[in-house]
Amino acid sequence: MGSQINVPQLDHLLQLAQGNLVLKVYTIFINESSTAQLRRISGKVLAELLYDSEGNCQIIEELANKDSARPIINTLECPDTVLSFFASAILRRL
């Protein structure tokens, strides 16, 4: 028989995976050298993740505290209205 993962271990692994996803999407969203289309998609995914779970908000709050929220605030001033919209949605959730 193969080894089985008990429920607490599985929950912990899922939280780690979700945290890693949030971190990756956040990094793409704030990276000004990424294409606008990629940043828009990552902004949409990030906003959906933040509105889906309080745990995801805590991850972004930690990042914002560490790196400051400046990258997201800078995106508010971006001429791309879609990016600005997602930045405001993200900041509102935090």
5-64: pLDDT as tens digits: 677 788 888 888 888 888 899 899 999 999 999 999 999 998 888 888 777 777 777 766
pLDDT of residue 64: 66
pLDDT at 1 over 70: no
Backbone angles phi, psi at 54, to 5 degrees: -65, -35
Q: Tell me, what amino acid is at 92? A: R
Give the C-alpha separation, 85 to 44, whole Å. 9
pLDDT of residue 74: 84
pLDDT of residue 94: 73
